Structure 1
Amino acid sequence: MQYYNQNTKIFLNGEFVHAKSAGIDLFGQSLHYGYGAFEGLRAYNTHNGTRIFKAEEHFERLKKSCESIGLPYRWNNRYLIEQCYELLELNNLRAAYIRPLVFSGSNMHLTSSEDANIMLAAWEWGPYLGQNLLRVNISSYERPNPKSFHIDAKISGQYINSILASTEAIRKGFDEALLLDQDGYVAQASSENLFIEKDYKIYTPPLENVFPGITRQTVIDICKELGIDIIEKKLTVQDVYTADNAFLCGTAAEIIGIKQVDDIVYKEEWEYSIGATIQIKYKNLVLEQENYEVII
């Protein structure tokens, strides 16, 4: 898909510039080593106007991601949120995906950078994995070991792991991959968190080896609000195979059901699942069709 054209503007280091003329530092650590941090937010066209869902949480996580790898973060988050709304207005976007990216300056050494830049971009983007039920497979690639990397941070270079896993899945005829952790337990998809349904209860892997997704926490909050039993526990491949239903969640993907894992097809209809109820509840929240705390 085309993410920008000759009229598209981005926010770059304090000013709005055309995306095509922004340029790139060919000697930056981010380009050579993946030394950068990013976030993904969604703006929704609600009856209250364009609203960015959980903007404060996303930018706070961006700040923590930068701090975890020694990348300077000198911006005020409230200011950045305001610039996101300005960016949407400049590009005439009412509903969009927003991508903040913090990247380093020129540095060929394998040391923390003293300089950092920030970019904000936005484009129209439907649910990342589409809207049809997914066919997923157990990947041959593992989730990075938490002792070797800050897996709770959204770091650019880490997503090579995600690219490899999802590309392998697609080549095998699936839509997405599920990755195991270093102990053989199911961790998450390439860039989404996993929930399974069994005997009217919802289960999800604990945070030890999975990314602390903001949508993941929203799903947990929804379960508690609706009185649905939500249990965080380590899940085996057999747990996933024998589930009644399952779904993935993330800011880009939102909430989407799983039809099949490897050659196991879930027998229960998605529309009658607890996951489908959570999916509807989530959509109502982001569209502000129910009371919910959001950033203006």
Structure 2
Amino acid sequence: MYYHENTVIYLNGEWVKAKDAKVDLFSQTLHYGYGVFEGLRSYATPDGPHIFKAGKHFERLLESSKKLRLNIPYSVAQLVELSYRLLKKNNLNDTYIRPLVYGGQNMALHPSRQVNFMMAAWEWEKYHRNSQLDVEISDYRRPNPLSCHIDSKLVGQYTSAILASAAARAKGFDEALLLDADGYIAQAPGANFFYEKNEVLYTPPEGNILPGITRAIIIDYALELGYKVEEKLFKPADLHQADAAFFTGTATEVSGIRSIDGKRFKLEWEDTIGYSLFLMYRQRVMNKEIQNFNLV
């Protein structure tokens, strides 16, 4: 699914076939989840593949790596250039790109001296293929911000996300919605959350969420269209009178939510602000207008 016989990845300064790549079984990341990653999307345009907001993603990768003391010897510009070379070597256009920074051999609980960097790409459809999601508010919580850098894409903190998603799907839901440590709505396992009420959009503030790059784009689009956006804390009960809701993320893009805990929202997806933003997002990343955005 993610690679085939001729797939090429970038690993520690070399281009190697994915099938031949080796990872140390005593890697600190494998045992303790000590690493950082990013997710980027490339879209086919009349001028060739363009990686949406590549610079923003690689800036966050380097900032996250620095926070974990897993420094890699690359600049943002170098990483952007490598990502385009990766696409060319694999003859990919519409694709998902995954850079990963991970530790070397070290069973001690202090940062590994060896730091590894890998980047791969594969064809991956929109993560939530169904635009009408049935969502469960999970019993699992987002990590406490005092326990780790939850504003970064840390490998280990996705354990609770996997468990929350698996539990929700076992009950027949499409996805989970996690609360923060204080019981406020936070985000989905891999996406940010918005709800709509009386033509105003509400989304959790930074602090207990990953402040997603797509989240910021959607806020800008909503303001451009003249809608009001409020970043505020809210509890599950606040969603009872909501008109609609949706998720945003690089892999998710913009995905509408039909119901939460079995309670359907008032508006049909096609009649919501979220749907208008979904159309705006897709049009701008797929067509020539993409060139109006900062791609690097």
Task: Give 1:1-296 correspondences, 5 Å limit.
Answer: 2-290=1-289, 292-295=292-295
Query: What is the SS of the residue equivalent to 1:167?
Result: helix
RMSD (CA atoms): 1.1
Could you tell me which runs of 5 or more consecutive residues in structure 2 were left unpaired when the two chains were aligned.
none
Q: How far did residue 221 of structure 1 move?
A: 0.8
3-state SS in 1 of match to 2:207 = helix
* Counterpart contact for 2:242–2:266, Cα < 8 Å: no
Secondary structure of the corresponding residue to residue 131 of structure 1: coil
Matches of 1:115 and 1:225 in 2, distance apart? 45
SS in 1 for 2:85: helix
Residues 37-92 of structure 1 show CA distances to partners (whole Å, capped at 9, x for unaligned) of 00000000012210000000000100111111111222122111111111111111
SS across alignment from 2:5: coil
Give the SS at the match of 2:187. Answer: strand
Inter-CA distance 131–45: structure 2 relative to 1 (3 Å threshold): farther
Distance 2:292 2:132 in 1: 27
Partner of 1:141, secondary structure, is: strand
Taking structure 2 as the reference length, what is the TM-score of the superposition?
0.97
Structure 1's consecutive aligned runs of 4 or more residues displaced over 6 angstroms after TM superposition are none
User: Structure 1 residue 132: deviation in Å?
Assistant: 3.0
CA distance in 2, matches of 1:253, 1:111: 34
Shift of 1:208: 1.5
Q: Matched residues, percent identical?
A: 51
**Residue 164 of structure 1: how far off its partner (Å):** 0.6
* SS of the residue 2:146 aligns to: coil
Q: Which amino acid is the alignment partner of residue 90 of structure 2?
A: N
CA distance in 2, matches of 1:87, 1:73: 18
| Paired AA for residue 128 in structure 1 | Y
TM-score computed with the length of structure 1 as normaliser: 0.97
Secondary structure of the structure 2 residue equivalent to 1:212: coil
- The Cα offsets for residues 262-284 of structure 1, whole Å up to 9 and x where unpaired, read as 11011211101111001111112
